[in-house]
Structure formats: structure tokens, C-alpha cells
Amino acid sequence: MASVPCVGIGWRHAHYEALLDQRPELGFIEVHSENFFADGGVTLAVLAAGREAYELSLHGVGLALGSAVGLDAGHLDKLARLVDRVQPRWVSDHACFARVGSGLHAADLLPIPFTDESLALLCRHVDQVQQRLGRTMLVENISAYVGWAGDTLAEPEFFNELTRRSGCGLLLDVNNVVVNARNAGHAPDEAAREAMRWVDAIRPGSVGEIHLAGHAEQDDGLVVDDHGSRVRDEVWRVYAHALQRFGPVPTLIEWDTAVPELDVLVAEAGRARALQR
């Protein structure tokens, strides 16, 4: 998968107007797919304007690719219509489950087991999405606050097999890898080293995009991937390491809570862009 040296930001409602007015120097913008599933209206008009100004990435949170009950055909149809309409550069979602047999959707990114059975299921669903969209998708590793007993594959090995078998790319969320290491009991410096070892286990050529974000440390010691602050120093160190291994992969600054002024995100994007040079 070819690397394209560029950095973008997540385009959220608070910055719709400012981005279109200021047109900051960015490689792309990324939006949550589900926010634009309507067949018309103001939001689609705004997205069309953003698409005229920048390359676009559609990042989903609702496909629930790892759900044993299968994909929601209606959800996939809406995604396909949106992809046809805006022709994004990248389409992505998460390696998680959310749907159960009753049709209930948990509206969360719940962790999947890292087993051969789970891998085969995820490959089938990724292939179904790629066939429906007529393009390769990216699948993101998540931050997980619980796990499954009986995992038989290490997480990097799981993703290596997923990308190899399905032909999809990995959306490497560096912050999620660091957060998981922190919640495994590691202090920030050791968590960064653990995350670098995680990165080193991913096969070169499989990473199609990288996400960077901030995280929060709660009073009880839990570290939460809240996308509500600047990227932490340890995450920057792992990102620099990932660039050495994978090259200048397209990189996104995510900021979804306590959203600051647009120039703060643009400055974070500039820091990432400087590391790519």
C-alpha cells in the first residue's frame, strides 16, 4: 500500500464554518460516516463543500465488523451511497463488535477476541464491505478496557493476518496502542516502549493511515482514550518510531471532546507533518 505524506484533522461540527473560511494547509479532512447518511440537507451540502477543498476520509463507528450476527445490510447500503456520492480517498471502521442477535446495537466499540475464529469472521465481513463498496477499506485497532479469556493470537499478529487475507489496510491508532499499554499497568515511558514493540510486529506495507489523539488519566488510574486534549509526548515518540518503520503514512489528528479552536488542531497537524519530513 503506497504511503502518501500528508496530515489531516478530524472535521467536527464546531469547525465546519472556520475550516471553509480559513482553508488551512492540510492534506485531508476526516469525518464520521454516520453523520452524513441522510439523503440530503445542510450536512451533506457542508460535506460537499469540504470535499471540494480537501481530500476526504470517511471514518465509520457503526459497522461493527466483528459482530457474530453479521453486518447490518441497511447500514452498509447507506455507507455505499455516501461513498458513491463523495468519492473519499479512504474509508475505514473499527475491529470491534456492537451488534447482538436481537438487533440491538450497543453504540460502542467493544473488543473482539483475538482467535482464529474471530479472525475468519472479521475477514468475511471486511470482504463483504469491500465487495459492496468496490474499494479497499482500512480497519482500526481499538482501545479496549476489557479483554477475552482464551486469546490465541497476539494483537499485531491478528492484524497482520487480517490485512494479508482480506487485502484491507490497517488504520494504526497509535494512541490506542499506548492507552492499552498504560491500562496494562505500564508507566508512560514503558508504555511507549511496549507500543513501539507492538508497531515493530506489524508488517510493513500494511498501514494505510495513522491516528493520533489525546487521552485522559482518571483518579482511579484508568487511562481513557477520550480524544479531548493534545497528543501526549509518549504518543509522539511512538509515532516517530512508526514513521521510521512504515514511512510517511497519512496521519490524522483526532479531537472529539472539549474541542478547541481550529488553530490548535492545525498546530498539532503541523507537528505531525514536521516529523514526516
pTM of the model: 0.94
Q: What pLDDT, on the 0 to 100 scale, is given for residue 63?
A: 94
Instruction: Report the distance separating Cα 215 and Cα 223, nearest Å.
Output: 7
pLDDT digits 0-9 by tens, 176-233: 999 999 999 999 999 999 999 999 999 999 999 999 999 999 988 899 999 999 999 9
C-alpha cell at 41: 440537507
Q: What pLDDT, on the 0 to 100 scale, is given for residue 102?
A: 60
Q: What pLDDT, on the 0 to 100 scale, is given for residue 1?
A: 36
Q: Give, in order, the Cα–Cα distances in Å from 75 to each of 81, 104, 121, 204, 211.
A: 10, 13, 18, 32, 24
Q: What pLDDT, on the 0 to 100 scale, is given for residue 14?
A: 96
Contact at 8 Å (CB) between 81 and 132?
no
Alpha helices in the chain (DSSP H): 16-22, 42-53, 73-86, 116-133, 155-166, 174-183, 188-200, 233-246, 262-276
* CA nearest neighbour of 139 among 213, 206, 195: 206
CA 40 from chain centre, in angstroms, equals 26
Report the 10 Å Cβ neighbour count for 97.
Answer: 22
Q: What pLDDT, on the 0 to 100 scale, is given for residue 192?
A: 98
Instruction: Report the distance separating Cα 65 and Cα 157, nearest Å.
Output: 18
Instruction: Report the distance separating Cα 218 and Cα 254, nearest Å.
Output: 20
Instruction: Report the distance separating Cα 30 and Cα 244, nearest Å.
Output: 24
Q: What pLDDT, on the 0 to 100 scale, is given for residue 146?
A: 79
Q: Give, in order, the Cα–Cα distances in Å from 18 to each of 14, 55, 109, 188, 257.
A: 8, 17, 30, 35, 18
Q: Hey, what amino acid is at 139?
A: V
Q: What pLDDT, on the 0 to 100 scale, is given for residue 105?
A: 62
Q: Is the dihedral of CA 123, 125, 127, 133 positive or negative?
A: negative
Pairing of strands 105-110, 97-99: antiparallel
SS3 content of the chain, % helix, strand, coil (to 5): 45, 20, 40
Instruction: Report the distance separating Cα 149 and Cα 269, nearest Å.
Output: 38
Domains of the chain: residue spans and CATH:
7-276 (3.20.20.150)
Which of the residues in the chain have pLDDT under 50? 1-4
pLDDT digits 0-9 by tens, 226-240: 999 999 999 999 999
C-alpha cell at 212: 493520533
Q: What pLDDT, on the 0 to 100 scale, is given for residue 110?
A: 87
Q: What pLDDT, on the 0 to 100 scale, is given for residue 223?
A: 94
